[in-house]
Structure 1
Amino acid sequence: MLSFLQEKGIKSYITSSSDMEKINFNLSHNDLRQYFAGIVTGEDVKNNKPAPDIYLHALDIAKVNKNEAVIFEDAPNGVESGLNAGIDVVLVPDQVMPSEEITKKVTVVKTLADAIPLFE
């Protein structure tokens, strides 16, 4: 998915509740840094997920509006945050599946690769 988005010229940003040290560790150990135009953490905003702040801040940094963005999430708090920000959310479930009420409001895929057709 990251290669596909990069090839299409679609910028990707990390928006994570984790701190920058943990994010940088994961990026460097998985050789993924080159795929992201920027990183926004919970440290960058007043209210962390499920508040919409982190996604609204990412929109400002990316200089795009809500209609030009898509959020990929794996956690219930992140899904709620994206919905609270008014941005389309694609859910790739990880350990905890959000409630049926929430999943009715988002696109659910099994893997990130399954989301590629959304961009073609």
Structure 2
Amino acid sequence: MELLKFLKQHDIKRFITTSSTRDILMLNIKNVGIKDYFTGLISGDDVSNNKPAPDIYLHALDVTNASPEEAVIFEDSTSGIEAGLAANIDVVIVPDLLQPSKEMAKQSVAVLPSLADAIAMF
């Protein structure tokens, strides 16, 4: 929540990009109460190929009219990290249950213990 509040206060665009269906996405954000913190929502229903294909992140760039250099991805899953790297977007890994491989960690911008730690990057 700290990172979301910070990004919203500084008017930095924030998108959820998930391989989940739109129905599951909407149910999850409603249950957690975070919808108002995001500029937009992109689900697996919006693209032809889900992660680890880069489609969802490339679609996000199209939607926001941003270049890969203007974006950063926060990921915890191997397929999401692979998708972000394939889209040539900077990836910050915030591990959940599994730690990233050494190779993935080397290719990322950072490996952080929590999303709150990402505030210092801005």
TM-score category, normalised to shorter length: over 0.9
Residue 100 (structure 2) pairs with residue 117 (structure 1): no
CA contact (8 A) 1:66 1:87 kept: yes
Corresponding residue SS for 2:11: coil
Partner of 1:28: 30
Alignment partners' CA distance in 1, 2:55 and 2:32: 27
Corresponding pairs, count: 119
CA RMSD of aligned residues (A): 0.8
After the TM superposition, which segments of 4 or more aligned residues of structure 1 sit over 3 Å from their partners? none
Alignment partners' CA distance in 2, 1:19 and 1:71: 19
1:42 to 38, 41, 44: 44
Partner of 1:51: 53
Alignment partners' CA distance in 2, 1:88 and 1:94: 19
TM-score, normalised with respect to structure 2: 0.94
Residue 79 (structure 2) pairs with residue 77 (structure 1): yes
Corresponding residue SS for 1:104: helix
2:15 to 13, 16, 30: 13
CA contact (8 A) 1:75 1:97 kept: no
CA shift for structure 1 position 94: 0.8
TM-score, normalised with respect to structure 1: 0.96
Structure 2 gap segments, 5+ residues each = none
